[in-house]
Amino acid sequence: MPQNPRRIGLSLGADLCWPACFEAILERLDLALPMGDETVRFETGRLQIDPFDLTQPSRYDVVLDRLTHWYHLSREWIKKAVLMDDVYVLNNPWSLQSMEKQTTYTAMMRLGFPVPETWMLPPKDYAWTEDLKVTLQRYARLFDLGEVGRKIGYPLFMKPYDGGAWVGVTKIDDDAALHRAYESSGQRLMFLQKAVLPHDAFVRCVGVGPQVRVVSYDPDAPLHGRYQEQPAPVDETEAQTLRDMTLTINTFFGWDFNSCEMLRQDGVFHPIDFANACPDSQVTSLHYHFPWLVLAKLRWSLFVAATNRPMHRTLDWTPYYEANEDDAPFDVKLRRYAAIARERLDTDRFEEFCATHLAHLPEVAHDYFGSDHAHEAVRTKVASLYPDHEIDDFTERFWQSIQRWRDTEGAQ
């Protein structure tokens, strides 16, 4: 059979640990897959930042994008590569560019998701121009901020409409706190969202292709402690609901890789933050869950590359809206949405691919995550973030978390 290498490109910013592990495991797998009338092998490369000719062909078949949500040159190269060269990109750059929290909240509200009541506020300050001055003089109305807060009900949260990593998020308990937060918000466009309090579970669901991991999450802990090692306090029915909600959100917006935060109150999971299409991938935040994420990225990118999966360049929301047209309860509609998601993600074909071609991946991963190379990947990431006197301690902390993963999930 003719050999046909598929190239997987990594578009990276500050990422150090997961790319090193991804590349090393792929090399150890040494795959040569019979796909139709050809044998498919795989290569990886890291995208560089260079001037580029708009008509220059891409070297890559698939790109895992961890950079272009904020670095515009790379984003424009990736858009060119999708349009000109049929490159499959995780995630869709147009969707990622346009889908702020406003869009995600309203879309999922339309589908019946129990998103907490949310309002958007005009910004407190502006970068002034003559046209803006005239516009505001003609059309901007004075409003009573306290009245808005009382309509929503305290406690509530103020958060940037385009934020991430909990930056600019403020818990607000009364009118005075609301006015203080708004006065200090500057030119940022802000939401007010009713708090889901009390709640008895806070989970973050990480989705990569059809794969979803439900993790107990503590936003008040230090960064290295937010992802909890113990299993999320959910039963299998709840876990399936969380998976279905996550995959509905991801496929609605054309995202292969995203995370969703949800709070459980009175048995109902309320999604509060789910426009995170470049979520945590570092061992310094994921620790115990880090190997799962590396393997999930590897499985999905190999499947996409090997099968020449076509990228959905545009978004088609009609099937979801049609599934929402009657008065059926939300759990029934969610099953309909999840069926659309499974179809869009080729879930059955993906699972068959993994069982047929990647059955030895768990064994390879188990060995790798006990290796000196994996240990050095952890240490390198720790050294990039922590002061010298903490490097040894945190390297050991994260390394032992990975070893606990090897002793439980990694041995399966």
Q: Which of 63, 6, 2, 8 is nearest to 36 (CA)?
A: 2
Identity at 340, one-letter amino acid code: I
- Comma-separated ranges of CATH 3.30.1490.20 domains in the chain: 117-194
* pLDDT given at position 48: 92
- Comma-separated ranges of CATH 3.40.50 domains in the chain: 3-98
Contact 288, 203 (CB under 8 A): no
Give how far Cα 235 sits from Cα of 19, 211, 332, 351, Å: 33, 18, 19, 23
Q: Starting from the edge strand earliest in sequence, which strands make up the sheet with 268-273, in order?
A: 227-231, 211-217, 201-208, 257-265, 268-273
Tokens of 35: 């796909």
Contact 334, 244 (CB under 8 A): yes
Given the candidates 3.30.390.10, 3.30.67.10, 3.30.1490.20, 3.40.50.300, the CATH classification of the domain at 117-194 is 3.30.1490.20
N-term to C-term CA, the chain? 33
Identify the CATH number of the domain defined by range 3-98. Answer: 3.40.50
What's the rounded Cα separation, in Å, for the pair 330 and 114? 9
* pLDDT given at position 166: 66
* pLDDT given at position 68: 82
* pLDDT given at position 356: 96
pTM for the model = 0.94
Render each residue's pLDDT in the chain as its tens digit; 412 residues. 566 799 999 999 999 999 999 999 999 999 999 998 899 999 999 999 999 999 999 999 999 999 888 888 999 999 999 999 999 999 898 888 888 888 899 999 999 999 999 999 999 998 888 888 888 888 888 899 999 999 999 999 999 887 666 677 899 999 999 999 999 999 999 999 999 999 999 999 999 999 999 999 999 999 899 999 999 999 999 999 999 999 999 999 999 999 999 999 999 999 999 888 888 899 999 999 999 999 999 999 999 999 999 998 889 999 999 999 999 999 999 999 999 999 999 999 999 999 999 999 999 999 999 999 999 999 999 999 999 999 999 999 999 999 999 999 986 6
